[in-house]
């Protein structure tokens, strides 16, 4: 396995994401395209209190995975965070890249939220999240899974 680094993305360079966007569209997913559109429009730049966007880069400094943490826009509870726009490039799956990224986001989320929710519609993703403690739940609007973080403001 090569050298990988995870970094908080303070200013998204759209061109760095283009390969992942195209790959995800080929896979039938549009959420990275929404990430780009929302970022360009300023509607979601992962810059509110408690929010962050992370990227994983390979030894050539190419972006190979991305994942974000938002205040849950579908909940009025400020202690609910939402995992969003999580994608690992095909070539880098099953190499612990997703684990690295998810653990970083959960670590960050514990500083701000009591619960982390997400929405997925694939069995493979659901199995991945369950392996890291997420429970299937529709307790929060627009979510399929949640993870209790134990944080209380």
pLDDT in tens, 33-78: 898 999 989 999 999 999 999 999 999 999 999 999 999 999 989 9
Model-level pTM greater than 0.95? no
Walk me through the domains of the chain, giving residue ranges and CATH numbers.
5-148 (3.40.630.30)
Q: How far apart are CA 112 and CA 5, in angstroms?
A: 24
Residue 11 belongs to what H/E stretch? none
């Amino acid at each position: 396995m090569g050298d990988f680094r995870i970094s908080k993305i303070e200013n998204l360079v759209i061109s760095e994401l283009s390969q992942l966007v195209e790959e995800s569209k080929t896979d039938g997913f549009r959420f990275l395209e929404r990430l780009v559109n929302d970022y360009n429009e300023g509607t979601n730049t992962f810059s509110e209190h408690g929010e962050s966007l992370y990227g994983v880069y390979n030894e050539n400094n190419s972006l190979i995975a991305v994942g974000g943490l938002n205040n849950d826009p579908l909940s009025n509870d400020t202690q609910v965070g939402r995992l969003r726009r999580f994608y690992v490039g095909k070539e880098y799956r099953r190499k612990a890249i997703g684990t690295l990224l998810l653990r970083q986001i959960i670590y960050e989320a514990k500083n701000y939220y009591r619960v982390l929710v997400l929405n997925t519609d694939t069995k493979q993703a659901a199995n991945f999240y369950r392996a890291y403690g997420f429970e299937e739940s529709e307790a929060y609007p627009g979510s399929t899974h949640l993870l209790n973080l134990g944080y209380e403001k």
